[in-house]
Amino acid sequence: MTDADAMRRALHVALRGTGKVSPNPRVGCVLVRDGRIISEGWHDHYGGIHAEVHALRRASESLEGATMVVTLEPCNHHGKQPPCTDAILATKQRPDGTLDPSRGIRRVVVGMRDPNPQAQGGIERLQQAGIEVTVGVLEAECRWINRFFVKHVTTGMPYVIGKGAISLDGFIATREGQSQWISGEEARRRAHALRAEVDAVLVGRATVERDNPHLGPRLVRGRMPRRIVLDTGLRLSMNYRVLCDEHRMRTIVATSRERAESSAADALRREGITVVGVSVTSAGRLALDELFVTIGKELSITSVLVEGGAQVLSWCIEHGLLDELHLFVAPMMLGQGISFTAALSAQSLQSAPRWQYHALGRAGDDTHLILLPQRPS
Ligand code: AOF
Ligand code: ZN
């Protein structure tokens, strides 16, 4: 078994923490001895034990000479949990408490360094104790599963993903606003899997009024994300699902600073809904960059899926707020309709937002594009 094989398994078990560990990273760990996996562990929920300790506790065989393969640098700090480095070094202790280099875990393979300054230093600490450490195995994959955590812990802002289901000619709805359904079942299932992965799903008021969406991952197993509704004037009636169903306590309504102090805002708060006030731009729209800073810092939201509509998506694209874009392109043409970038107007080809392909595949009859912004170099 190569380090990469073991890391692939560690990445796989890390995903068991999906939807449960935020704002922490998803971390997986396997212990390898004599060429086979003897134990595995993962960070299962926020505040719970870390992947390394989980794997060490679950081991039913001797750890003598074993290699630990873990997707993230073992932490070296006291947070909600004690340092994983201590647990690793404990496997090397003689009965008198001194370290014996030949005992216990002999080698540690790390996918990526921990970007959290408070937790860093694990690699050096292990090396000082005589453990051989290899860093950077399947690093790109490890970074990808923790792209939300990495952005949030380094900038305080959530990682923002845009999502649209469009026709071949780029429309998200007919002229009359009919959009259910442009994409097929498999594309919708993938979109729901994204909902289960992010901390929050964001939509504008017009989308709530048109579709009365539930925004939960009903087509897959997963927990309900927080739901963010943009409502500058706080005019939405309380009868929409996001404001009155059993998950309303986890809904966040973003509105102007002024309306956030109004009696309408208090009525929402009495229902357990969070109301966040942000500045309004000269164009009369909520300043989403400010909203993202607030929800990242105050509500520990590490990721947001922007589901629409066209106004909100256009605004995010125009202001460079998307870190990733998922487009499900259905083999269908409308000729006229609501373009998913209706409110975007590029003045020239040079100034048009450009993207690079991260992945391109099929989702049933639809094409699934995952794009990353091409930031000016
Ligand atoms: C690890 N293994 O499985 C995870 C780590 O408050 P705590 O104690 O849970 O610490 C959270 C921080 O520890 C988190 O921000 C990240 O830097 C690291 N997460 N580290 O060694 C794990 N989940
Ligand atoms: Zn740890």
With CA atoms as reference, report the closest residue to 44 among 12, 17, 19, 11: 17
What radius of gyration do the chain's Cα atoms show? 23
**Gap between the Cα atoms of 360 and 159, Å rounded:** 21
Tally of CB atoms within 10 A around 155: 12
Say which of 40, 52, 197, 307 is annotated catalytic: 52
Which amino acid makes up residue 274? T
Eight-state DSSP code of residue 162 = E
Which amino acid makes up residue 115? P
CATH architecture of the domain 156-373 equals 3-Layer(aba) Sandwich (3.40)
In this prediction, residue 101 carries a pLDDT of 86
The pLDDT tens digits along the chain (377 residues) read: 999 999 999 999 999 999 999 999 999 999 999 999 999 999 999 999 999 999 999 999 999 999 999 999 999 999 999 999 999 999 999 999 899 988 999 999 999 999 999 999 999 999 999 999 999 999 999 999 999 999 999 999 999 999 999 999 999 999 998 888 999 999 999 999 999 999 999 999 999 998 899 999 999 999 999 999 999 999 999 999 999 999 999 999 999 999 999 999 999 999 999 999 999 999 899 999 999 999 999 999 999 999 988 999 999 999 999 999 999 999 999 999 999 898 898 999 999 999 999 999 999 999 999 999 997 65
**Crossing angle between the packed helical segments 288-298 and 310-318, to the nearest 10 degrees:** 90
CA atoms within 13 A on the CB side of 110: 22
Tokens of 44: 């299962």
The domain made up of 3-147 is a member of CATH 3.40.140.10 = yes
Tokens of 80: 């909600």
**Gap between the Cα atoms of 129 and 28, Å rounded:** 23
Tally of CB atoms within 10 A around 283: 7
Helix runs in 15-138, H state only: 51-58, 84-90, 122-128
Contact, 127 vs 162, CB < 8 A?
Answer: no
Ligand of minimum distance to the alpha carbon of 74: 1
Distances (CA, A) of 48 to 42, 66, 168: 10, 24, 45
In this prediction, residue 377 carries a pLDDT of 59
What is the model's pTM?
A: 0.95
CA atoms within 13 A on the CB side of 121: 9
Fold match flag (3-147 vs 156-373): no
Pocket of ligand 1 contains residue 120 by CB under 6 Å: no
Domain boundaries, the chain: 3-147, 156-373
- Using most ligand atoms within 8 A of CB, pick from 75, 84, 146, 153 the residue to mutate for ligand 1: 75
Eight-state DSSP code of residue 99 = B
- Using most ligand atoms within 8 A of CB, pick from 22, 69, 72, 153 the residue to mutate for ligand 1: 72
In this prediction, residue 77 carries a pLDDT of 97
In this prediction, residue 375 carries a pLDDT of 72
